[in-house]
Structures are given as structure tokens and as C-alpha cells.
Amino acid sequence: MPHGRAIWVCFMIIGLLKYIGTTPVEKQTQGGSKSKQEEKPGPDLRSLHFPAEYHATGVLSLPTSNINEPFEVWHSQAYDKSRIDYYHGEVKTFQRGDLGRNGMFFKIIPKFSYKRHRNDRHFLGCWKRYGSKSRKAKAQSVLPCNTAWPFKSRLEDFKYEGDAVINGTKCTKWSYNVTIFERNNSYLFYATKTDPPKPVYFEMNGYDTLLVSYYDKYTIHYHSFEEWDYDPDDDPDVFEIPHLHHDKWCWNIDKRSRDSDGASMSLNPMGEFAMLHHVEDPVDKDFHNFRKKHKRDYKDKLEHQQRKHIFRHNLRYIRSMNMKGNSYHLTVNHFADLTNEEFDNHKGLMPGDGGYGSRDFDDAYDDQVYDDDAVERREKIKKKKSRYGHVPVELDWRKYGAVLPPKGQGTCGSCWAFAAAGAVEGANYIQTGKLIDVSEQQLLDCTWATPGATHGNNGCLGGWTWKAFSWIKKFGIATADSYGAYRGQEGYCKTEGLKVGARIHSYRRVKRYNKEALKKALAYHGPATISINANPKTLKFYSRGVLDDITCNNKTDHAVLLVGYGTENGVPYWLIKNSWSHNWGDNGFIKIRHGLCGVEKRPFVVLNKGQRPLPWKLEEKANKEKETLLKKKLREQMMANAAKYNTKDDYKIVRKDAIEDPDFRDIEDDEYLDDVDLW
């Protein structure tokens, strides 16, 4: 399981809130008069005094992703505790700096199992992770304050800009502009003119590294903000972590972590500082362009240098590989400054088959039902003639309209959901002629229990495509519009008011490491889910061409969608759709040479039971008819030309050897027959 995925998945939105502070100002007692507060405030934000213990609600908006997340916050600086709920309590997060040596993070998530009693199908799960010396768990504030992340700001940096009216409320306006590594970041903060003041609106135009540059702007609308006196003796305690016996008292995410290579941390960052003081670093321009294109900003110079170290090594690798004359080309993309463990957050395939049996796709007969007599029937099946005919020389389901544009899974390990949804979309198109966008979020929320399996999928911690198929076979899958937008984290499984976008009859695993069986499955049943090895840097920075890196072995950890195959410059390849957005690879796609990266290791296909003719067969038929018509027209034209010049001389015969010999090419039969001495 990828290292560190869950901690960032669990607290990805919390990280956004860190832009506006991690340590609140000191608690103030109510005092002063309203008339005093109506006076012009001081020159900077230090003149406003917010309580250190408070309860607040609001909406966190990320306009570039069309995400609006309602939140509720309880915060106590004195006890180093905070709790932030999202989506009206569907997801609960706890930041407990008072627990353990370096604090602890907790996340309570909704789960769903159709196998449980009807009144108990929705239940809760728990994740936890321990803080570390470098990343301690502390109480999380939602207010501007000193030492804010991602840069070390101060309250005096926010300057008073006058008064403004926000939604009918008279407010003080504060602004802050800062250039970090030649990049401008602007902040606007509004608070009521009351004593004590209340936050109203916060806006940032800047850049985020935690979510890998998906967002470049966010806003917080505070709906309510009240001073709150926290008493740890209260029952129930708002900061108490629910004890879920069925979840083995919270799943420790640390146990699923894998070690990072630590390459950037093992280098001496001071060497970078020294070099920059004396001579221009040759990688500076490339790194600057990278940060500008992918909207990167770092919290301080140390992180800047560490990220540049990672970028430098990746850039050297990319340029070195591109000089080798490979059949593929690499390029710098949005992964170029990530550590290995951060990159792992963009995968999500669970190891192994997840308990899948031996129900493989069989090109002789794929409707087989397996029971105690399976072995005997399988022997009979081998004698049956395959119901599949030939396959096209090349196939690309995109050109037939069966594939939607690539999407981005973010830092949630949900690749399995995107691959499964893509296969269902393709199968549904083949059967109905309609390409319907179905909901990956529903698979993330609802497949914690699946038919035919002891355990289901694990949300953002990973899953298996066949378990998603098993669930879809029983319940169908909703359209993306009716279920709601993809959120990048688990949510409450919706079961009412949904429009079913697609249903499937069945699914099968294709014969392992069998290229011909995989081609037949792809041609006759549509796009298939596969697992690949996403670890090689050649794949990480792929841009175009056919990837033929022989170091890309069959140790798979990432689910993707196989949409075609073909040959390029004599190299046979598989055409694959990824879930790393259109910014990666060749507009979100990649070509991988046969036999590499585990493509043939674990394919699954949704069976096509429709009666509609396959589009590639229709294309072949149309091409054949076009060729026949062309030949017919050519014959008619030749006959017309022959009829036009139909004279006696036109039928003179020329000897073959005379044609081949330039000295006799004009001698005709009646001429050389009269001159026997010529030969």
C-alpha cells in the first residue's frame, strides 16, 4: 500500500485550512464597548482579538474544482484540541495535540454494507495516524494568525484597507500581498466591527503544494462564529474519539506505510544555498518554469531547496532517457517535485486479487457457471468452437465514442473506482450507443461490502475493480450528475433519488498473460480494467511514444483502463487511459509495449450481452463495401475505355519477351511470325 497516502487523504482539506493558521491568538476576555470598536482599528490585524476557544461553521470553496465543502469547527488552544466536520458531519476529523508524544490525527468516515441489517447498513469506520517530530498534530485553527503555513506570516502583515459591506454586514477589510520566489500571493480578510470581532470572509489567490497544484484559489465563508468555553468534563466531550469495536479501535494507517527512498533529504541543502549565493544554478530556469506552470509554492527556503533537489534529479533522468533514442519520450509534469511516497498517493490498487476465484474469461465460452462440476464442464468447453471470430489489427475505442476524457483522482487512492467506472461506461456504450458519465464517488462511498467477497473495497485506501463490478452487477451505478461530484474523499452512501446510469450482466477476469485472449476480450466486450506497475520514472514522466522500458516489471500497484492496442514503428503496444488528469502523459493516455508493466497480469472485462453490432465490425464492413464499390467502378471504367477504342488494331498481341526487351517492344505478333529468320 502506498506510503503516507492515508494521512494526506484523511487531512487533505485540513491542509488547505492551514493556509490561514495553525496557532490561534491568545484568548481574550470580552471587554470594551461597541463605540470603541466602531472607531478606526489599528494599522494591522493585531488590533483584532479573536477568542482562543470558539465554535464556527462555514463553507470552504475551491472554485477551480467546483467544490463547496460545508464545515463545522470546535477549537481549544488551551487544551491543544480541535475537531473539524465536513459535509454536515459525514466526515469527522480530530487533531489531538494532547495525545502521544507528537499528537495524533483521527478521521471518522461513513461506510456502507448491503449485507448488514436494513436498519444498520450505514455505519462508521475510523482511521488514525500518529504525528511525528517534523509534522506534529496540533489544534487546527481557521483564523489568520502568526506563523501561518505555507509561509511564516505575521498578523502585522495584514494591513487595514478601510471598511466594506459583506452581505449586508459592515466589516473591516484587511489585505496582505507577498511575493514568494517571484510569485505573488494575495489575501483578503473581512471581520465584523463588533467586540469581539467575528470573521466573515477569507480569500486567497495563491498556490498549494499539498493537493499537487489542483487548486490555485480558495475562499472561506464564515456562517457563524461564537466564543466557546470548553470543559473537558462535559459529557459527551466533543473531542472524544468514537470507540468503534467493529473497526478494531481505529485502523492504524501507519502500519500500511512503506519507506521512502529519502533521496532529497539525504542531500545537503546548505550546498544549494552556497551555490545560489555565488553562481546561477543551471536548473533554476527550468524549476522556475515548472513552478509557474504547475502553480507551486513552498512554505520556506528549506522546502524550496528540498523540492528543487527532487526536481533536479528527475530532470536529469528525463533528459538522459530522452537522449537514448527510445521509442518513447519523457517530459516534466506535475509529479516532478514529489517524493516517492507522495507520488504513491496517486495510485490506490490493493495488492493481489482480493479473493477473486478462478472465473476467467474464456474465449470458447464465457457464460460458464462454476460449481462442483466445473472441472468436468471445462473439459467439454475446451472442445467447443470459439464463438469469437477475428479481431481487428488495431483497435482504439476512443474513436468509436466509448471513452470519456481522462479525469483526475487527486490524492485519494481511488484509481480502482475510475478504472471500473470507465469499463462500465464503455460496455454500456457498446450495448446502448449512449456514453453516460457514471459516478466514481458512489463506488468510493458504497462498496465497503460487495457480493461474493468477505471484504469489500477500502475507499481512498484502495480497492479492486472486480469488487466494484460485483457491486454494480447487483445494484447498478448512478450517473455522476444524480449522485454528485467527485469529492476526493469518502462520503455517506446515497441510496435514494438516484438515476441509474448503467447496469451490467456479468464480468470476468481475462486469462492471465494471454495477449490474444486480452485482444478478443477488448474487441468483443469493450474497455477492460488492468493493473500496472506505476513505479518506474519512465512511466511517471511519460509524454508520448511507446513505453518499452524493460525495467517496468509485473509488480502492479495501480488500476487503469485498457482502451485499445496497435503497432507503432513495428512495436506492438497497449493503449491505456489513466486517472491522473489530462495533464499527464499524452493527454491522459499512454502506450505500453506488450509484455511490460504487468498489463496482461490481471485484466477484467465487463461482458457484453447486447445485440448491437460492434462498431469496429461495422467499420470493417463499410471499408469492404467501399473497396468492392471502388473495384467495380474501376472495372466499369476500363470496359468503357476498351469499348471506346474497340478497333481491329487494338487486339494485336505482343510477345512477353518482346515487352521485356526494349529492342523488340514494338514488334507485334503478325510481324515476327512472318519473319522466321528473326529468331
The verdict on whether 578 is a catalytic residue reads yes
The catalytically annotated residue of 334, 578, 597, 608 is 578
| Spatial contact of 531 and 354, defined as CB atoms under 8 Å apart | no
CB atoms within 10 A of CB 571: 16
CB atoms within 10 A of CB 16: 19
The verdict on whether 412 is a catalytic residue reads no
| Spatial contact of 421 and 477, defined as CB atoms under 8 Å apart | yes
Half-sphere exposure of 21 (CA within 13 A, CB side): 18
Q: Would you list the DSSP string of 270-290? A: HHHHHHHHHS--TTHHHHHHH
CB atoms within 10 A of CB 116: 13
Residue 526 CA to residue 90 CA, distance in Å, equals 36
**Max Cα separation, the chain?**
135
Q: Which residues contact 338 (CB under 8 A, 6 or more apart)?
A: 212, 310
Q: Letter for the amino acid at 415?
A: C
The catalytically annotated residue of 75, 334, 346, 558 is 558
User: Nearest-CA neighbor of 8 among 157, 275, 242, 208?
Assistant: 208
User: Nearest-CA neighbor of 162 among 206, 131, 193, 186?
Assistant: 193
The catalytically annotated residue of 145, 171, 412, 415 is 415
Residue 268 CA to residue 275 CA, distance in Å, equals 12
Residue 589 CA to residue 584 CA, distance in Å, equals 8
Residue 598 CA to residue 556 CA, distance in Å, equals 6
Helix (H, G, I), strand (E, B) or coil at 478: strand
Identify the bridge partners of residue 189 per DSSP, sorted by sequence position: 174, 202
Which DSSP helix (H) or strand (E) runs through 202? strand 199-205
The verdict on whether 415 is a catalytic residue reads yes
| Spatial contact of 181 and 291, defined as CB atoms under 8 Å apart | yes
Q: Which residues contact 285 (CB under 8 A, 6 or more apart)?
A: none
Catalytic residue annotation: 415, 558, 578
